[in-house]
Amino acid sequence: FSTAGSVDESDDDVHDADVRDADVTFPLTEVVAVGAAIEDVHARYHSAADSADGAATSHPGSIRSSFGGVARNVAEALGRLGVPTSLMTCVGSDAAGYAMVDSLVEAGVHADAIEIVQDPDLPTARYSAVYDSHGNLITAVADTDVVDQRLDLEFLRDRDAAMLAAKVLVFDANIASRTLEHWARGFNGESSDLGMPPWVWFEPTSVPKAVRVMREAPSFVRAATFISPNLDELIHMAAAGRPSSAAQGEALSESERSSWREGVLRSFAHGEVNEAT
């Protein structure tokens, strides 16, 4: 992995430096996954009475944590299958960040392109959810500032060589839309002479993020060889691609969703899936 501000691990002042990874050589792998690496924390009440009383105090329950994030999940799965894979993401210089890197290495993932951010205000991304005793979500908080602020165009440009050498690039939608758009423009030759890797796989991640990328990163969407939405994401992405007022919002009404769902499924049934759908 790489340490933000470090190109020479022998430098005693490495943690205080303010340069990134421009001079670092990253390993070349068949697949490169780019996106979020998140620690998921799930808390669940033991009893229905505790989850219903609303008291601002602690209650008996269970707490579990695991590592997630779409790009991280893809990288781990491929690593365990023996596919040479690198993960490009940012984590904090904390216990969760180092444990996550260790777990990826153990799974066979190349972690050299992961940036360990030396900033106490940017801890490893974390999603914390609280559930009632039946497993229904009560509330959740997501802290993904490290990904939002550090996984930017400079981060990607520092890793151009490794990305260009890959057979498949997998992006999740946790990356800022403007970063995806500027990256795609450069890799499509609109602002540079770089060539496009054979396959670019886009995983939409969620309905709001999928819609945001459709609206704000058209060059990236056109550059994608594969897009792997679930049905709800696909419906909203199809609507977002149309110049209608309904497509401007993050969600469709139930009637709009039903209409788009029927149209999308009809297109699939008749083999008519194209740019319009």
pLDDT at 14: 31
Instruction: Please state, rounded to an integer, the average pLDDT across all residues of the chain.
Output: 81
Q: Which two tokens stand for residue 229?
A: 């939405």
pLDDT at 239: 82
Q: Which two tokens stand for residue 134?
A: 């039946």
| CATH no., domain 31-47+59-228 | 3.40.1190.20
Give the pLDDT band (50/70/90) at residue 37: very high
Q: Does the pLDDT value for residue 22 go beyond 90?
A: no
- Rounded percentage of the chain residues whose pLDDT exceeds 70: 72
**C-alpha pair distances (Å), 215 with each of 2, 114, 171, 225:** 33, 28, 17, 18
Domain residues of the chain, as ranges?
31-47+59-228, 231-241+250-276
Give the pLDDT band (50/70/90) at residue 12: very low
pLDDT, tens digit, 9 for 90 and up, residues 146-204: 999 999 999 999 998 899 889 999 999 999 999 999 999 887 544 444 555 569 999 99
pLDDT, tens digit, 9 for 90 and up, residues 249-277: 445 666 666 665 565 556 555 555 544 33
Residues 174 and 23: their CA atoms lie apart, in Å, by 26
pLDDT at 180: 95
Regarding beta strands 85-88 and 31-34, do their DSSP bridges make them parallel or antiparallel, or are they unpaired? parallel
Q: Does the pLDDT value for residue 21 go beyond 70?
A: no
Residues 22 and 94: their CA atoms lie apart, in Å, by 23
pLDDT, tens digit, 9 for 90 and up, residues 26-35: 889 999 999 9
Lowest mean pLDDT across 70-74, 219-223, 235-239, 258-262: 258-262
Residues 254 and 258: their CA atoms lie apart, in Å, by 6
pLDDT at 11: 38
Q: What letters, b where the CB count within 10 A reaches 16 and e where it falls short, cover 218-237?
A: ebbbebbeebebeebbbbbb
Its pTM stands at 0.78
Residues 233 and 121: their CA atoms lie apart, in Å, by 33
